[in-house]
Structure 1
Amino acid sequence: MGAGRRAPATEWVVGWVVAALVVVAIVVAVVVVAGRFTSDSAGNAARKPYASTETVTVDDRSVTVHLPPSYVDGTPLPLVMLLHGYTASGSLQERYFRITPEADRRGFVYAYPDGTLDRTDKRFWNATDTCCDLYGTGVDDARYLHDVIDALKRRYSIDARRVYLIGHSNGAFMSFRMACDHADTITAIATLAGSTWNDISRCRPSDPVSVLAIHGTADRTILYGGGTLSQHTYPSATRTATDWASLDGCAGPGADQAALDVIADLPGAETAVREVASGCRGGSAVYTWTIDSGVHIPNLGAAFTPSVLDFLLARAKA
């Protein structure tokens, strides 16, 4: 049986009920000017080392930022950003992945922004032609998230060589989009149940980006073997990974690794791990985790998030 158990997740995000979030933290007033935010307190005085969670605003959208107990201004820490799925929110996605305890334990700055509300009041990211700007708003989320990262770098002590994205579903598509458009900023991404451009010529990363692509073989929302959504095609999980190995200039052979037990309600070591190719530019890496019988929103075991973070935090830009 899978390692650890979490509350069962439904197959799609709609209908989740969120308990009220009580935050014991210092409240920071925020002033937003042209996509940037500043504290109303005097100057940028060094913070005392403590865990705190702040809600800030960038371009009229909220971003929750969690600082670990080890955070002190002037000592750069990695940044991990979580991108939610269609219809969800940053806080819902955090309840699913539970990254905050890992941020405190490992010492990284953690942020989870919210996408745009569409005309049916569902949040989305405009990632690719497939997903998920269903009503054609044309919002430039790649620019927006780049602005968020820049704003966080100005506000906090962030190690620019270690900026990571984790995305689920629509957030996974958006993570791939950010790796395509802002490879100079993004060090590595980990995606669950998402894909990249079907026409990979639309992805032109300036730098190599490490990729961990996770997908369940029984996903009926974003099919493991590829499919069509919004009348546009998305590639299979395998082709998504091999396309990225090509983009990263990986010249060597791949290899299977030891399987993982990271899904709570599936028996044994259900997740096959493969290094897609080796010899990638800039020390980058492309891996797949294939969850045998995994669905779109798998019941994550206790080892899932720590294992994802192990992959990400081991990467740094040259």
Structure 2
Amino acid sequence: MLNRIITASVAKVILLVSVTLLTACGGGGNSSNTKPVPITPVPLEKACDDLNLTNEQECLTVDERSSIVYKPANQQSYNGIAIYLHGAPGTPSKVFDIFDGKSIADKYNLISIAPEGNGSDYQWDSNNTGNNGTNNDINFINALIDNVQASYEFSTQNVYILGYSAGGFMAYKLACEMPEKLTAIISLAGQYRGDTANCTTSTPLAIHHMHSSADLDVPFAGRQMGNIASVNDTIALWALKNGCSEESKLIEQAGVTNKSPITNTQQYLGCVKPVTLSTLLAVQHEDDYLSDKLLATFEYIFSQ
């Protein structure tokens, strides 16, 4: 019985020691040749505070931030990592549910992870200012990837970023700052922030964007407040980086909510890596998304 009782003070000490060990081992990116210490997910009852974990999920703490982790059962190795970035306001569990991280993990043998944002108004340092060398969120995502890759066996090193709203802003930030480490980004209702000239990478990256012309919170045409570029400018930026031609193919797909009649998906041709825009019809920014219909628009990404 005594073995099951852990006081709050002891739990805090354990968590502090874990974080200190992570920091000391250089889990912040690619600058060190020392391999990060493998992380053992913290059991459900010991951490993760208000992340609303299910019995199938685990908690992982890196750089003092907690993440929801789900991995398919009875697997010896995995095909990669899917990281879900939430909006502002938003929670890891919300974005995990919007995309149904469990189903994606099970279907494609991926480890699904939904981390906490940084607590700021936008939750992520996603604005592309051209002076991004000390971006704490870039360092955090790097550390998260490094430690998960060190903790589990992978058959491939695929890393997929799926962002919703402000999490989509951050997905594009990652595409600019660390594309060499990513396989693809998938953004729902969140485009590029900042002057597009500030994204100087020449590395192509698979991009799939989903956005509604009826979105009033994050307009398709962008907005000056928050330095949010238009969807068209966002897609044009990666069409250029990925060497796409001026031609595209239009595919009609099912709506992503019960009230949406159709999704018009535009696939750009001749690209080194795919660039695709799915225009959602009659969909609000906050809506009852159907995760299987969302997946139908971008599931080709997992076979690239």
**Pairwise CA distance, 1:306:** 2.9
- Corresponding residue number in structure 1 for 2:7: none
CA distance in 2, matches of 1:123, 1:226: 16
CA distance in 1, matches of 2:247, 2:85: 31
1:67 aligns with 2:63: no
CA distance in 1, matches of 2:172, 2:208: 11
- Corresponding residue number in structure 2 for 1:263: 257
- Corresponding residue number in structure 2 for 1:238: 232
CA distance in 2, matches of 1:222, 1:185: 28
Report the AA paired with residue 286 of structure 2.
Answer: I
Shift of the 103–223 alpha-carbon distance from structure 1 to 2, 3 Å rule, reads same
Structure 1 segment 49-68 matched on structure 2, within 5 A: 52-68=56-72
Report the AA paired with residue 239 of structure 2.
Answer: A
Instruction: Give CA-to-partner distance per residue, 1:279-300, whole Å, 9 cap, x none.
Output: 222xx10000101222112321
Report the AA paired with residue 72 of structure 2.
Answer: P
- Corresponding residue number in structure 2 for 1:26: none
Report the AA paired with residue 92 of structure 2.
Answer: G
CA distance in 2, matches of 1:64, 1:194: 22
- Corresponding residue number in structure 1 for 2:295: 306
**Pairwise CA distance, 1:117:** 1.9
Report the AA paired with residue 240 of structure 2.
Answer: S
1:88–1:123: 8 Å Cα contact kept in structure 2? no
Aligned equivalent of 1:217, options 204, 213, 220: 213
What TM-score does the superposition give when structure 1 sets the normalisation length?
0.74
Instruction: Give CA-to-partner distance per residue, 1:197-255, whole Å, 9 cap, x none.
Output: 4421211335211111111111111111121224xx32211221111110112235211
2:235–2:277: 8 Å Cα contact kept in structure 1? yes
Give unpaired runs (5+ residues) of structure 1: 1-28, 42-50, 131-137
Shift of the 307–67 alpha-carbon distance from structure 1 to 2, 3 Å rule, reads same
Greater strand share, 1 or 2? 1
CA distance in 1, matches of 2:291, 2:118: 31
Shift of the 215–108 alpha-carbon distance from structure 1 to 2, 3 Å rule, reads same
1:31 aligns with 2:12: no
- Corresponding residue number in structure 2 for 1:9: none
CA distance in 1, matches of 2:224, 2:250: 29
Greater helix share, 1 or 2? 2
Report the AA paired with residue 104 of structure 2.
Answer: E
Shift of the 127–285 alpha-carbon distance from structure 1 to 2, 3 Å rule, reads same
**Pairwise CA distance, 1:126:** 0.9
CA distance in 1, matches of 2:74, 2:294: 20
- Corresponding residue number in structure 2 for 1:279: 270
**Pairwise CA distance, 1:78:** 1.9
Shift of the 123–68 alpha-carbon distance from structure 1 to 2, 3 Å rule, reads farther
**Pairwise CA distance, 1:160:** 4.9
Shift of the 311–234 alpha-carbon distance from structure 1 to 2, 3 Å rule, reads same
CA distance in 2, matches of 1:302, 1:65: 18
Shift of the 38–250 alpha-carbon distance from structure 1 to 2, 3 Å rule, reads same
1:217–1:293: 8 Å Cα contact kept in structure 2? yes
Report the AA paired with residue 228 of structure 2.
Answer: Y
- Corresponding residue number in structure 2 for 1:88: 90
Instruction: Give CA-to-partner distance per residue, 1:74-94, whole Å, 9 cap, x none.
Output: x34221110000121111222
**Pairwise CA distance, 1:278:** 1.6
**What percentage of residue pairs aligned between the two structures are identical?**
24
1:158 aligns with 2:154: yes
Query: Residue 214 of structure 2 aligns to a residue in which SS?
Result: coil
**Pairwise CA distance, 1:192:** 0.7
Report the AA paired with residue 61 of structure 2.
Answer: T
Judge which range, 97-106 or 63-72, deviates more: 97-106
CA distance in 1, matches of 2:196, 2:158: 25
Judge which range, 215-224 or 51-60, deviates more: 51-60
Moved over 3 A (4+): 35-41, 158-161
